[in-house]
């Protein structure tokens, strides 16, 4: 009985130590992760950044290259979907205007973005 109890205590200590090392002391750190593997919320942030950059320089080729890194050959639908989520989350009007301008640059139109078009 005593050896079984010792086994359980050691097992619990091993699991606790493993969890501590894995979650606290040495957690996994992702480096150079491909942009097309991002979560949807992070992809939306990247699309907002692309829209902000496009609002600043109006360089459609640079914006197109950034979308290709996200794995989007046709970014229009992704821009509209990002705008829908941004509107639902109460994003600032400046973000919606930037998204509308970017969508227009890619010949994508949506009634959702009409009030924010230049």
Average pLDDT, the chain: 91
Domain assignments of the chain as residue spans, ordered by start: 1-31, 35-116
Instruction: State the Cα–Cα distance between residues 96 and 75, nearest whole angstrom.
Output: 16
Contact 44, 86 (CB under 8 A): yes
- The stretch 4-13 carries a mean pLDDT of 95
pTM exceeding 0.75: no
Nearest-5° Cα angle at 66, 69 to 104: 130
pLDDT confidence of residue 4: 92
Q: Is the pLDDT of residue 35 over 90?
A: no
Q: Which of 118, 101, 107 is nearest to 54 (CA)?
A: 101
pLDDT, tens only, 78-112: 999 999 999 999 999 999 999 999 999 999 988 98
**Using CA of residue 60, residue 43, residue 95, residue 53, what is the dihedral sign?**
negative
């Amino acid at each position: 009985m005593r050896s079984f109890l010792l086994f359980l205590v050691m097992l619990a200590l091993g699991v606790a130590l493993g969890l501590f090392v894995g979650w606290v002391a040495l957690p996994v750190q992702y480096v150079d992760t491909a942009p097309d593997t991002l979560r949807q919320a992070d992809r939306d942030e990247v699309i907002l950044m692309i829209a902000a950059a496009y609002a600043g320089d109006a360089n459609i080729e640079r914006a197109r290259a950034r979308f290709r890194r996200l794995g989007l050959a046709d970014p229009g639908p992704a821009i509209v979907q990002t705008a829908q989520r941004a509107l639902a989350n109460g994003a600032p009007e400046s973000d919606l205007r930037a998204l509308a301008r970017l969508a227009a640059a890619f010949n994508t139109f949506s009634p959702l973005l009409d009030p924010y078009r230049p």
